[in-house]
Amino acid sequence: MDLKDYELQVFITHFIPPRISKTQRLNDLVKPRLTLEYLRSWARLFKHARRGHQPWKRDIMTKPRAKRAEFRDEYLAQVMSGLEQINSKRLVIHIFSNKDFYYPTLSPKTEVKIHKFEQYNMMHSLNNSPWTKDFENNPWNLLWEHKESLRELAKEKVDFKRLVLIMENDVSLRIESLIYWLQERERLRDSGLVPSFLRLEYSKALNDWICIDLHNLKSDTGRARRLVIKDREYLQIPSLYSGITVLDQELLDEYVSSQAIDKNGSSTLIWWDLGARASMGIQFVNIPEGFADRHVIGLDSQTQSASLGSLLHHLPNLYSSVPKLESKFLSFSELPSWIQKVVF
């Protein structure tokens, strides 16, 4: 199976952090702490032992994120190069950014379109949180700017095969992953379920790949289920984030007519933050009875682990770079023995 008959319409958000002066940094440090909300956060801390989602609060990931941000252009180049290596009929890559930039394509079948939104150039401690809802120019809103393009794309009536991909700018995609998706999509079509992916990072300390979205399941295996559909086994992990959405025409039509495509309406489907909801696709739309959501991962019949096509590399290896975190994640080598404990 190949993709030579498919057009790929790819949507990637690429935020470029603006330079922040020392004066602005000092203002960001002091101003939020002079608010009533900051005082209330201390009350929550004393009562509930946590402050909640506070834009000004530094956490264990603050420094690692800042360090990896320096390489965001390199990660994007790897993602786009990988897409061009897929032998598709046509590749259209839409980049939604707050600044102009140029990317030299490798193939005449590739078209890159840059969509610039300068209103998201302002960034400070108050509007740099995906949990903040009342800042119109919050940079996290940039992740929603491609939705109108999806609506327009859904209106087009084409006589060729098309796949729509909504991707992060630092998660690589191989042709094996799209072939996996297409094959599982056909097997699952009558069930209402949709194939999904599993993000991995490489840990030098563990000398292993870790599943960065399975960090809570070691102590909560009951959340997941192993399913058998048409003699094929699948793993469902409720609310599993994958960082990529793949839609064929039928799923695209379903998506654009649902609450999931709406920035505010999507919050009625799941508690996720503004950024995560932007890439969840139809995961929580029209969920079949008895299931937590629509996403499942195909299992390899021989290894009893996730299919190789379902695996995506999170290029920054961000979470695996934090020693206090990497031991909490499930390693990929542990996955087969862990799956055996899943409740049917």
CB atoms within 10 A of CB 283: 24
- pLDDT at residue 252 above 80? yes
Task: Quote the percentage of the chain above a pLDDT of 70.
Answer: 87
Confidence of residue 49 (pLDDT cuts 50, 70, 90): low
Confidence at residue 322, expressed as pLDDT on a 0 to 100 scale: 87
- pLDDT value for 70: 84
Give the pLDDT band (50/70/90) at residue 217. low
Higher pLDDT, 84 or 126: 84
Which pLDDT does position 22 carry in this prediction?
Answer: 74
CB 206 within 8 A of CB 212: no
What is the per-residue pLDDT across 281-305, written as a single tens digit (0 to 9) for each?
999 999 999 888 999 999 998 888 8
Can you tell me the distance from the alpha carbon of 323 to that of 191, in angstroms, rounded to the nearest whole number?
Answer: 41
Q: How far apart are CA 177 and CA 186, in angstroms?
A: 15
Q: Residue 343 above 70 pLDDT?
A: no
pLDDT at 77: 93
When pLDDT is averaged across residues 307-313 and rounded to a whole number, the result is 95
Query: Which of 197, 186, 187 has the alpha carbon at shortest distance from 228?
Result: 187
How sure is the predictor about 308, in pLDDT bands with cuts at 50, 70 and 90?
Answer: very high
* Lowest model confidence (mean pLDDT) among 10-24, 150-164, 257-271: 10-24
205 or 27: whose pLDDT is higher?
205
Rounded (5°) CA angle 90-313-203: 165
Contact 242, 199 (CB under 8 A): yes
How would DSSP label each residue in 101-169? -----SSTTEEEEEEE-GGG----SSS--TT--S-TT-GGGGGGTTHHHHHHHHH---SSEEEEEEE-T
Mean pLDDT for 96-118 is: 90
Residues 284/270, Cβ–Cβ less than 8 Å: yes
Averaged pLDDT, 163-191: 95
Whole-number mean pLDDT of the chain? 86
Would you tell me how many other CB atoms lie within 10 Å of the CB of residue 134? 7
Question: 215-235 burial, b for 16+ CB within 10 Å, e for fewer?
Answer: bebeeeeeebbbbeeeeebbb
Output the pLDDT for position 220: 55
Lowest-confidence range among 68-77, 81-90, 207-216? 207-216
Percent of the chain exceeding pLDDT 90 equals 53
User: What does the block give as tokens for 311?
Assistant: 């695996």
Residue 36 has pLDDT above 80, yes or no: no
pLDDT at residue number 344: 43
Quickly state the pLDDT bin for 144 (edges 50, 70, 90).
Answer: very high
DSSP 221-290: GGG-EEEEETTEEEEE-TT---SEEEE-HHHHHHHHTSGGGSTTGGGGT----HHHHHT-TTTTSSPPTT
Instruction: Tell how far CA 68 is from the center of its chain.
Output: 17
